[in-house]
Chain A
Amino acid sequence: MTRAAVRYGVTALVLVAFTTAVLLLAGAPPWDAYRSLAVGAFGSWGRLARVLTVWVPLTLCACGLLYTFRIGLWNIGVEGQVVMGAIGATWALRHPAPSAPVAVAGALAAGVVLGAAWAYAAGLLKTRGGVNEIFAGLGLNFVAQGFVLWLIFGPWKRPGVASMSGTAPFPPELWLPTASWGRVAPVAVALAVVAVAATAALLARTRVGLHLSAVGRNPRAAALFGLSPARNMLLAMALGGGLAGLAGALQVAGVYHRLIPAISSGYGYLGLLVAMLAGYRLAPVPVIALFFAALNVGSIQLPLVLEVDSSLSGVIQGAVVLAVLVVHGWSARRAPEGTP
């Protein structure tokens, strides 16, 4: 057996042991819980449609994060960029448009622009203001969340009474059309697939990807070759923020059809876990995003079936990433120099 196979085996074992221990601690029968997760995610066409609906923002966010990780930036502000994308889309949809498709396209574009702008702001704070991107991004996340609440309870409040249920829903002609077999918008899935393909092409086959890697690996050497680290960082942030903004805009136009306080559902943060688990490479991203989406959707019915909290999905997702980091680090430490 190869070293890598042993590593994956150990990781899986650690993960299952940990999750089972947590389930036993909570007094839930582990086998029933695993079965319930699987059935909850793939038990019917409707469920599968919901999994795909969650897959879209996770994939978009993780793709966007590859640009920033490539250049060595920790874009923790991705969560706020999703939120700003949703705000942009809502703002655009509140304005009259010549036709419904134009309105929706405009909403998605507005989401991309606002998400990119929010990321650009964090990038400027980093390159011009010397503010670490983690804290800049984190701060901007909370500002964006406060902004959403203010909009929902202030200028965009539902006629009559403002509430946590969000703004008034848009008329159905402004909703992204859903598939005949389940509540998933094919346009959203197609956009996520396009984003994966475009990211693959951009990172592997264009000068942009090359420059991002060069600056990420050695900013000083890159600068000697005439590459501006600051400009490339801002580009990476804007690209990542744009995809996160698109994810947020799709949550408004294709899922909730209005702005709600929890519009991002934590998908930005979860996208960070997806990118980390993928080893900051693109190829595994779609599969891992599908796995994470299945866990999220599969856990929704847990409170009803087993009377346990739905946060089990988050426990498993975090435990996978942690197990990979620990086993990977442990194995790298034991490996003699030079072996992968």
Chain B
Amino acid sequence: MNGMELTTLLAAVVAGAAPVIFAAVGETVTERAGLINLSLDGSILLGAMAGFAAALYTGSVAAGFAAAAAVGAVVAAVVAVTGVYLGQSQVAVGFVLTLTCRDLAYFLGNPLSRVPGPQVSPLPVPGLADLPGVGEVLFRHNLVVYASIALVPVAWLLLYRTRWGLAVRAVGEHPAAAYARGVDPRRVQLACAVVGGLLVGLAGAAFSLAVKPGWGRPQGAEGMGWIALALVIFGGWHPAKVAVGAYLFSLLQVVGIPLQALLPSVPTQVFQVAPFPLMIFTLWLIHLTRSEAVERWAGDRAWAWRLVHALRASAPRALGKPLSRE
């Protein structure tokens, strides 16, 4: 593989990861507040449909993204209100919404199937786009891709360097303690659900208006919501590590086709389902790093100690649990 091909490949990885980053970072924000929005796979599709429809009828791609974000926020708000305020199981509501939103998208989007529509136009960054190598990989994309790259540090800053982020993390770890410090856990969870939902909706529009332009049944974004949920775990609920996971997933998709030609004995399906066993393996590793035996074993070995601590990402302690009423 020569230099030319490598930059093209990396550029494809960066572009392909954009919608997954929106969805996975959005879900990271939601889950850090202790709320789990399981509806991603459906709300991405509904966002994709709504975004495409709005862009088609108004002729404005921006209107498409706004509509998709609104749809994602509304779906997430339903999860938060029924889960937090009405005391229903977040998992149950999220799961029902996954199926319902998917079918709603197919039903309402039926007249839009295979209709040619607008899409995001490329916008090379003047000056930077001509840089050798880096230019092609990072600066010859569209606004959606730039936004996906910018989102990662922004989410990190928000979560780790602002008071709001501190409140979010406190609610996710220990809602009762946060309450005692004057933070209303319900409002924080609702806010994080809506912020996360906005990003999930944008992910949908990023599919239907940029990465896989157009609408149809199937659209091509099916399964991506589950991938995003898996990536949040893979990345240990940290925006930067989640983004690394998204790029690895995108790499797997991009190299899947040429790699298949090189290794004909490995079935295509292996590349498609690979992220899921990896997710299970990651969860198992997280569990292992917390066991006493591993602790003792790693205690004598400096490298193992560092490794265990790097892996020891833990889920927000209150994740998915109902808030007690007091």
A residues with a Cβ closer than 8 A to B are 22, 25-27, 74, 76, 125, 129-132, 134-136, 138-140, 142-143, 145-147, 149-150, 153-154, 266, 269-270, 272-273, 276, 308-309, 311-315, 317-319, 321-322, 325-326, 328-330, 332-333
Contact = CB atoms under 8 A, between A and B. Distances in A.
Nearest to A331: B86
A228 B161 CA distance: 45
Nearest to A325: B88
A250 to B, nearest CB: 22
Nearest to B99: A318
Interface of B is mostly: helix
Contacts of A131: 280, 283-284, 287
A329 B81 CA distance: 10
A322 B277 contact: no
Contact of B276 (A22, A142, A273, A321): A142
A149 B88 CA distance: 37
Contacts of A142: 223, 226, 273, 276
B284 A322 contact: no
B248 to A, nearest CB: 16
Contacts of B269: 146-147, 149-150
B29 to A, nearest CB: 19
B273 A145 contact: yes
Nearest to A147: B269
A125 B110 CA distance: 40
Contact of B107 (A26, A138, A147): A26
A338 B304 CA distance: 54
Nearest to A269: B99
B276 A308 contact: no
A319 B276 CA distance: 29
Given A26-B110, A142-B273, A150-B267, A130 B287 contact: yes
B58 interface: no
A314 B108 contact: no
A181 B189 CA distance: 55
Contacts of B279: 135, 139
Contacts of B217: 309, 311
Interface of A is mostly: helix
B305 to A, nearest CB: 21
B69 interface: no
Contacts of A139: 230, 276-277, 279-280
A233 B233 CA distance: 24
A311 B273 contact: no
Nearest to B286: A130
Given A26-B108, A129-B283, A130-B284, A332 B270 contact: no
A27 B108 CA distance: 9
Given A150-B267, A276-B92, A329 B107 contact: no
24 contacts: A22-B107, A26-B110, A27-B111, A130-B283, A130-B287, A130-B288, A131-B280, A136-B283, A140-B280, A142-B223, A142-B226, A143-B276, A146-B270, A150-B269, A153-B267, A311-B107, A314-B100, A314-B103, A318-B100, A318-B101, A325-B88, A328-B88, A330-B86, A333-B86
A153 B264 CA distance: 13
Contacts of B107: 22, 26, 308-309, 311-312, 314-315
Given A131-B287, A309-B106, A325 B96 contact: yes
Interface string B51-90: 0000000000000000000000000001000100111100
Contacts of B229: 135, 138
Given A153-B267, A311-B102, A329-B86, 8 more contacts: A22-B108, A130-B287, A135-B230, A143-B276, A146-B273, A317-B100, A319-B100, A330-B86
B92 A325 contact: yes
Contacts of A314: 99-100, 102-103, 106-107
B95 interface: yes
Contacts of A150: 267, 269-270
B93 A322 contact: yes
Contact of A325 (B82, B111, B230, B288): B82
A315 B91 contact: no
Contacts of B8: none
Q: Enumerate the 5 nearest inter-chain pairs by beta-carbon distance, A residue then B residue, closest first.
A: A318-B100, A329-B86, A130-B287, A314-B103, A146-B273
A241 B318 CA distance: 29
A139 B86 CA distance: 30
Contact of A136 (B78, B272, B280, B290): B280
Most B CB contacts (10 A, CB to CB) among A26, A131, A132, A149 go to A131
A315 B93 contact: no
Nearest to A266: B99
Contacts of B110: 26, 308-309
Contacts of B88: 325-326, 328-329
B200 interface: no
Given A22-B108, A26-B108, A318 B96 contact: yes
B97 interface: yes
Given A315-B107, A318-B97, A326-B86, A154 B267 contact: yes
B267 A22 contact: no
B129 interface: no
